[in-house]
Structure 1
Amino acid sequence: MDSEPNPTILDGSIRKDRRSQEMLYRQFHGYGMSISLRYTSTREEAVEVLNDGFVKVFDNLQQFDREKPFKSWFRRILINTAINHTKKYGKFKNETDLEHLTELTENGSNVLDDLSYQDTIKLIQSLSPAYRTIFNLYVIEGYSHDEIAETLQISVGASKSGLSRARENLRNLIKKNHEEEVGQLNKQ
């Protein structure tokens, strides 16, 4: 599957042709869900964010600069939609970096090596909405603390603190999961 939509699909979607919109939706559904899941607590919430994001895409597609990658534009819309979703439902209060999580090692092996993508997403989803959003923006999207502060309308200190707490929460969750797995193995 191409990473960029067919120009005919884009043209049809701009004209509000349902078939073209459906084709665009199907082509980018998986990619969009992977982004939405990182910013939400449940699959249902992720679907809501994804669908809201697609509504924005369809409403604003005529503004898309075809000289630039569609995926990047779509990603930005989904991230903003997820942030707005979190703010709308009062889940963000002004109050881990995966590379830093490698500090958790057992017998010289990285505990993260044993986590599947789904396990990693579940751990990130278990963070509070504020920590999860800051974590995603900093670690995965590559935002600076200044950019996060501006985007979320919080202080730079709150961004740094939120990231630190997100990392610590993830470390604790990984450690707890690892200890539970070792306990289960010892019982066998």
Structure 2
Amino acid sequence: MGRANLTPAVVVAAAAELADREGFDAITLSALARHFGVQTASLYSHVRDRSALLDSVHELALGELADRTAVAIGGRAQRDALTALADAHRDYARQFPGRWAALQRPAAASTVHSDAAGRLVTLTLAMLRGYQLPETELVHATRLLGATINGFLALEVSGNFGHREPTADISWQRALSALDIAFRSWPTEGNP
């Protein structure tokens, strides 16, 4: 691909593909320059630096995950919506391991305030509101949901569930059942 075809979106997409193929830490400007057959310096007109590139991959992954989540949870509520949201995350982690790794890094302020992050948060909160949780409790419920999904997937991706029966799929369903019960019986504010 020649230099004339490079845009910020093309460079970020190539970085995401590199992350999925070789791991998130493989994203470097020199690796991308080799991929495009250009000098590393020529990429600086499309991305500020490696840190900005990693932030852009993070934002790309948030947007893709938001799109998948929207389709998955549409028209569903409570346990069905919870399962659809969690499965969308799990499928994304399996299909795009490098992009999933991007989601596990601390988000830059620009990423936190991005449209992609806003859409994913809005979808997550909509799913949780289906449980009739008090607004004051949504942050706590979101943290529990994120910790459960991300913790499970981190252990699964690293192979820590492959040494014992039953399968991780059964444990995944148990975890979602536990979350469903927790959200259905969530304590009200001031009633721990």
**TM-score category of the 2 structures, normalised to the smaller one:** 0.3 to 0.5
TM-score by length of 2: 0.32
TM-score by length of 1: 0.32
